[in-house]
Copies of this chain bind each other. A is one copy, B any other.
Amino acid sequence: MDTKTINIGIIGLGTIGTGVVKILQENQKIIQNRLGAKIKISRIADLDLTTDRGISLNPSILTTQAIEIVNDSDISIVVELIGGEEPAATYILKAIKQGKNIVTANKSLLSTRGPEIYQASYDHKVDIGFEGSVCGGIPVIRAIKDGLSANRISLIYGILNGTANYILTKMSDEGISFNKALIEAKKLGYAEADPALDVNGKDTTHKLSILLSLIYRKQFRPDDIYTEGITHIEPVDIEFARELGYRIKLLAIFKEEDGEIEARVHPTLIPAESLLAHVNGVYNAAFIAGDAVGSTMFYGQGAGMMPAGSAVVSDIISISRNILNGSNGQNIPLFTKNYSTIKLKNKNQTKCKYYLRFSAQDRPGVLSQISGILGKNNISISSVIQRGRQVKGAVPIFMLTHEAVEKDMDKALQEIDALLVTLDGTTVVRIEDQFNNLA
């Protein structure tokens, strides 16, 4: 019996693309056995065909013209790995129109133009796989689509950016500043030359937006999700959090409560004994709670050549299976009209506990002024520590609050930061400590 062959084309031979080629070459036999067919890389496009990537390729399959892959009638799966919005969107949409199945790891594209791409894939009866877009090698997209498909998913806490997690871990382990930790991350190749999206939280927000789109089958635009990065976190915050039994992580947070969705991305104090607090370095994890399954957590490497390549190749294999059994493009549309009217909660209305660090003059009455303003704004303090030592002429005052409404907190902080006795702005870190069932 002849072995069937699935021809694929890869657009973009950067880090992930190289990983995909390596995996398909090294695990060729094992994958062929699992699939019952061969996966053949029939064409690869990249603008740079000269850099040595440590892989051996037949030069005849290489091209600088991505459009050749889009137009190649032998290719059934186009793997887009160039990232960014354009020209990726154009290639993907053109390939879909030609009946090609798509695999991509392009989180910024999917979070912003997902609806258009999903609709096109439905209209043209092709599959689209994007496991690599969230949590790299960890099969979180599949968990939501398949493994937990029986559940109403009501909560996610995600550590979805390895660079930010590496920096926070390094700051925590060594007591160093954000800037020093960032330099270290760059040295080790964990941070790009421009790590802006990693440390300002936006990459995490793109990923959260994709997870939400899977859960609710409608788009939640990244711009509508409250996002805060980690650049303002100082070693003293990490140290104080630790003393109180917390770790600081950049979390993607999703909760459904009372028919509304809370979705936000910000540094967060979480209990030191929680599993998530033990997710360190470049590792990612998604803590997902469903009404039937209870608490689950998925852990692994969220980025890097081979982990991200693992996710992309798993999509290539799944879509190949569908092509072989004739079921590709047969799924119901990812986004359906009127499926869900649920909306994001107004940020002003969200409630949580807060960690606050004030920088104040070392004078009598300061604490009374600050706590007076908090009280007036319905914010109740659960603990306060004022340390004697001075930092640049100021005394830090640390506070934890009980649950408070965001709007009240905003107002209180405006008043406090306007006081003559406070210096700099107040550092605010939200707290999540309701890890139900999390042993």
Contacts and interface: CB of A to CB of B under 8 A. Distances in A.
Interface of A: 19, 22-23, 26-27, 30-31, 33-36, 131, 137-139, 142-143, 146-152, 169, 217, 273, 275, 278-281, 283, 290-301, 306-307, 309-314, 316-318, 321-322, 324-327, 330-332, 336, 339, 437, 439
A318 B327 CA distance: 13
A142 B273 CA distance: 29
B292 A306 contact: yes
B27 A152 contact: yes
Given A149-B314, A325-B330, 11 more contacts: A31-B149, A139-B142, A139-B143, A146-B314, A150-B311, A150-B314, A150-B317, A151-B310, A283-B439, A291-B306, A292-B306
Nearest to A19: B292
B294 A137 contact: yes
Contacts of A152: 27, 30
A138 to B, nearest CB: 6
A27 B309 contact: no
Contacts of A322: 327
Given A36-B332, A280-B439, A292 B313 contact: yes
Task: State how many copies of this chain the complex holds.
Answer: 2
A149 to B, nearest CB: 5
B307 A301 contact: no
A380 B288 CA distance: 45
Contacts of A313: 149-150, 292
Given A27-B150, A313-B150, A306 B331 contact: no
Contacts of A291: 26-27, 306
Given A278-B278, A331-B325, A23 B150 contact: yes
16 contacts: A23-B150, A23-B151, A139-B143, A147-B311, A149-B317, A150-B312, A150-B317, A151-B310, A275-B275, A290-B310, A296-B301, A297-B297, A297-B300, A299-B299, A322-B327, A324-B330
